[in-house]
Amino acid sequence: MAEPGTLHDALIDELRDTYDAEKQLTKALPKLAKASSNPKLRQAFESHLQETQNQIARLEKVFASLDEKVRGKHCDGIAGIIEEGKSIMEEDFDDTTMDACLIAAGQRAEHYEMAAYGTLIAWAQAMGHTEAAKLLQQTLDEEKAADKKLSGLAEGGINQGAADAAHSEDEEPVGAGSGARKGSAKAGRR
């Protein structure tokens, strides 16, 4: 009878999942870049694509450090996140709103990756795989920085630009203390 799997087996399994997730992202990031109107946003997706290629190579080193063959295993989680991003790109939004939505899609992917790498690092450390943990930490730092860059772009003008376009015809700002949009003909508009 086969022995039950151990945390080491789970680590290898998660590494394969993450390796596949990164590969899926190398196909998704160029689409996000292409759909971006803001040049800084496009640049952010393009530079994260470069980083992602690097992260794939780094994961190959992680496999090697554990004497494991490089292998991927389909990551359903990131596939779902990418699928949602695709649906958003098919929507007919104004340019700045689309940029805000692309950031939202990108950040979902970054947070998923941050969760994956956080777990991988903790498990590798717990089992004394220090080289693997060190490599994985480099990638986690890049994912966090990518996420922060997207927040910076959203909060540094893209969200406000989209918000202004959404309410450009309104006479006064909405919601300041009052529960309803009084006098607005556009109440209920999405």
Euclidean distance between CA atoms 153 and 147, whole angstroms: 10
Q: Which does 18 bind (CB under 5 to 8 A by kind): Fe ion, Zn ion, none?
A: none
The alpha helices in 128-172, defined as continuous H runs, are 130-153, 159-166
Q: Cβ of residue 169: shortest distance to Fe ion, in angstroms?
A: 38
- Tokens 């376009």 correspond to 165
Euclidean distance between CA atoms 105 and 88, whole angstroms: 8
Q: Which does 143 bind (CB under 5 to 8 A by kind): Zn ion, Fe ion, none?
A: Fe ion
Q: Cβ of residue 123: shortest distance to Zn ion, in angstroms?
A: 8
Q: How many residues in the shown chain lie near Zn ion by CB under 5 A?
A: 2
Among positions 117-176, residues that touch Fe ion (CB under 5 A) are: 143
Euclidean distance between CA atoms 23 and 43, whole angstroms: 20
Among positions 47-66, residues that touch Fe ion (CB under 5 A) are: 52, 55
Tell me if 14 contacts Fe ion by CB under 5 A: no
CB 102 within 8 A of CB 40: no
Closest alpha carbon to 175 in 56, 152, 167, 150:
167
Q: Which does 55 bind (CB under 5 to 8 A by kind): Fe ion, Zn ion, none?
A: Fe ion
Q: Which of 8, 40, 42, 167 binds Zn ion (CB under 5 A)?
A: 8
- Give contact residues for Fe ion (rule: CB under 5 A): 22, 52, 55, 113, 143
